[in-house]
Structure 1
Amino acid sequence: MFPMIVLVVALAAYANGQFPTGTCPFECNCNNTETICTSQSMFPTGISESALYFELRDSNIQEIRHGAFDNQRQLQRIKIVSSNITKLSACSFSNLQNLVKIEIVNSTVRIIEGNAFSHLTNITQIVFHDSRVGTIDSYAFHNVEGVDKFLFERNEIETISPHAFMNISRTANYKIMYNKIRLINSGVIKSMYAVTNFNFTGNSITDMFCGNQDALLESNATAQVFNNTFNCSCTLAWIFSLPANDYKTINFKEQNYCNDTQRGELIQLSKLQLSPLCEENVRCPMQSPILPYKDCMINFDKPLNPVDKVDYPNKDRKPSGQTAVVITFFQMLILVVFLLLIS
């Protein structure tokens, strides 16, 4: 009778996701669907292949590298909280076809490499908030489509490189709000189309080069671009090349400001006067993006081109994470037979 009670308890635990199906990394709490790791000095290995949720908390690691999640293709959500990461490498998340949300909260990331967030087919939310970011490389967020929420809010960002946000389309809410940004290079936001709600609001920006006006004045989005402050410098000279009578240009100049540090006051962009020292900047010398040093070899060895989107393979093909579920089923079956025999 006792073995049968053990069997019932084990099956109930398995059904509720409390019976582990794989290994659990050191300093982590795991069950059948979740792995939560704290106080890590290296990226944890041995995460269960059946995990649907992974959280990294209070950790200090060098890198989330290409292939870090090669064996966790069932992952649906990743959250990084109160952690320091030196580098999010190219293709960090590229194998995760089932991933629907990535959230980075109250953390520090020094470098986001090109192709770090690229070609994520099912992603619905990419969220950075209350974090510090050093450099966002060109093509860091690349060919990301169908996102419900793409949010950068209340972050401190050092440098955003040309084409850092490339081909982000069919997006419901594209929001860059209340950030402190030292440098936005030319052409940071490129090829934005089919965006329902674009919100670029309340940001404090030291320098913003030309080549971003198409995104800020995007015609196919419900654009909200106001209460941003820029340093009064020659990097703003591009606003004098905007069509003077266009209502979007007028609204942009009337609802955004530059910070005159010498006078200690905010000046409405519509009241700026072009200095002779800044006339060369009106012509908008564009900066060239640096292509990612690594193509992502993902999805059964199909490479990603850094400019053109590569189709994903047939979704009927099962990822390797299914294997863990099958193995666990047979393990439970063997346990049932064993308990019946000894009873």
Structure 2
Amino acid sequence: MRQPKGFEDPAYSNHVCLLRKALFGLKQALRQWYTTFCNHLFSLGFSPSKADPSLLIFHQGHTKMFLLIYVDDILITDNNKDAISTFLHQLNQTFALKHLGSANHFLGIRIQHKQDKYFMSQESYAISIIQQANLINCNSAANPSCTKLQVDIAMESATLSDPMTYQKITGALQYLTITHPDIAYAVNTLSQHMHAPQSDHNFLLKRLIRYIKGTTNFGLPINKSDLHLTTYSDGDWASDPINRKSTSGYCTFLSSTLVSWTVKKQTTISRSSTESEYRALAASTADTIWLKRLLSGFFITPNDPVDLHCDNTSAIALAINPVYHAITKHIEIDHRFVREHISNNLLRLVPIKTEDKIADIFTKPLSTPRFKKLRDKLTISSDPFV
């Protein structure tokens, strides 16, 4: 470290400045702000969630408050309006707050509500991506992916031929998947070619934007219902034609509300479809256990095991029957991980027909009728409050 230019002290040339206050532009600023803010909340009676450090919980008597932190944006809810008013008054004595009332927008996500129904969407953000791609007047598409590429795609993708534009838009699309899980597979595929996008990738990106053009007002509904978790898992074996790695996809519903989903290429090559499906089962199991731990922070402790749906009978037999240990030495950790949670009655593997497997939408490109059917099962829909 050196003394800043213009402020050198010749008498103490080896001395450096002592930082007394975290500056917003420094790398340590966010951590310092989080530590300062959380320490103050701890003094007011809050405690961190065991599953998510950005979630703080207050519980005294019949009063429960849940506070979510994202840098300097705060979302808070409770079951006592007087308690939350008192808390905000106490907090305002130490930090400068701007109380915006009921949540309508949070981190670019629009939140609409009517009685016990909520709807989350990112219409403004989606339109800004379309404008950034200079495709505001394009025709909409019914499917974000295609099962077979056209032959003459070079001219079709001329608009997005700049690699910098491709990278910028693909990066922006990742945030759109928060309320648009139906594009998660397409965005994951495009993100794998950020370093050197080719003409076919540009074509697929344009097709995805055309799909978003027709679904800007789509989003995720949240309905009040029971609190039973249900998970769907799928693995597409050797789906990458270059390195033959498989793709894992899974999603979890809290009753009828979609709360979690993931699309990810597996890190190692699977030698069979059973192995591919089993690795996806292990990943979905870890996510489901985390969701159960998160729900416990909201004082929700479901006693019934979580139904984990899978259409691969060999993977289900492998998870239940320990006889197969000899042929699973190379995936022994995943094998033991899944079987342990099944034996502890935390999970229950349920066979499902392939046509009813919702996680199919996260692992492969689908025909338009099949895609729309699974999109409806994901509960993704247009704005119901329009």
| Structure number with higher relative contact order (C-alpha < 8 Å, ≥ 6 residues apart) | 2
**TM-score computed with the length of structure 2 as normaliser:** 0.26
* Structure with greater helix percent: 2
